[in-house]
A = this chain, B = another copy of it.
């Protein structure tokens, strides 16, 4: 035979100029799904509308009662916790906006061939669970600890590497309380749905989705930097395949417009009637709170400030913004630009990397305003 397990993987690649999406990209797009942007109207994303990305299969968990989470490695007392054990800790609930690190990838030129997100890979939920630092304090983290590794039950092959999905956090982040990292067992007041990690997942407010390990079954403290596939090969910001690159960590600022008016089924072009239109949307950043949002209705030629709602105490969730526009007949391109308290903003020109990670180019929403729709 000669064919090996690793041969089922194809190498990472970029799409050629003008190359349409392949069946491999479609297979991912058909399984995973984004947030229809009109659903940004909801402060908390209703069940089933939050974006989902699963690298492999959703694991089958027939009986949550037998699920075990281990906390081990460089700790004084290894722990084994059931989901019932975790519910004996004081619960903490946090509203968090999560975004996939690859959001926007399919808009890049050239297009990295992977999960082909346009801009919908986002969602906001109220997660309930146990602060990770309480579990780590109970286990007693060794003084020479470097990273904390999180292992999910999802299993597959990726670029020839058979693996359980694993990601790590620096020990300082894992033990910190800003953000307060959660081992979560509930989403919006209900047990986690299967696709969001039932029965347990990690929630790290402000960090991109790859950090939020689902189907969490192991927490391992290590005294060397973690070099697993998802940490040191995937999710690196690099332009050349041979670079080590920089790790993907916190969410870059982004503002999105709820496309106004109504769509054409196939082209998705928006139609708005002439007259006043209340544009609204959401803005978020994982580095620092969003401080302002600007809006353009002329494809980025000019910008005006939007009204930004207070965060109502939800520091890690998106903020609503709005802007009164007067639509006149013709073609328009809408967009919004978020700025955060750390001085970060969205670039006016595409910043490209070969994984398509953490890109946050300004959205373009083409809108047609016909003369005869008054």
> Footprint of B on A, CB under 8 Å?
1, 3-5, 7-10, 19-34, 36, 38-39, 41-42, 46-50, 52, 54-58, 60, 106, 113-114, 116-118, 120, 155-159, 162, 193-196, 259, 262-269, 271, 329-331, 368, 370-373
* Distance, CA A8 to CA B194, complexed state (A): 39
Mostly, the A contact residues are loop
Least Cβ–Cβ distance between A243 and chain B, in angstroms? 20
Q: B27 touching A29 by the CB < 8 A rule?
A: no
Q: A271 touching B157 by the CB < 8 A rule?
A: yes
Q: A39 touching B194 by the CB < 8 A rule?
A: yes
Q: B1 touching A330 by the CB < 8 A rule?
A: yes
Taking the full assembly, how many copies of this chain does it contain?
2
Residue in contact with A48 in the complex, picked from B9, B120, B195, B331, CB distance below 8 Å: B195
Residues of B within 8 A of A32 (CB): 33
Q: B46 touching A193 by the CB < 8 A rule?
A: yes
* Distance, CA A372 to CA B196, complexed state (A): 32
Residues of B within 8 A of A370 (CB): 3-5
Q: B55 touching A265 by the CB < 8 A rule?
A: yes
Residues of B within 8 A of A120 (CB): 30-31
Residue in contact with A20 in the complex, picked from B5, B20, B55, CB distance below 8 Å: B20
Residues of B within 8 A of A269 (CB): 8
Q: B30 touching A57 by the CB < 8 A rule?
A: no
Least Cβ–Cβ distance between A76 and chain B, in angstroms? 35
- Can you give 8 A-B contacts (C-beta < 8 A)? A3-B370, A19-B20, A28-B266, A31-B33, A36-B54, A39-B58, A39-B194, A158-B266
Given A48-B193, A48-B196, 20 other A-B residues pairs in contact with their CB atoms under 8 A:
A1-B330, A1-B371, A5-B368, A8-B264, A9-B264, A20-B20, A21-B22, A21-B26, A24-B266, A27-B118, A30-B33, A30-B106, A33-B33, A48-B49, A48-B52, A49-B195, A55-B265, A156-B265, A157-B262, A158-B266
Residues of B within 8 A of A55 (CB): 265
Residues of B within 8 A of A24 (CB): 266-268
* Distance, CA A37 to CA B125, complexed state (A): 25
The residue in chain B whose Cβ has the minimal distance to the Cβ of A15 is B20
* Distance, CA A54 to CA B42, complexed state (A): 18
Q: B26 touching A106 by the CB < 8 A rule?
A: yes
Q: B329 touching A56 by the CB < 8 A rule?
A: no
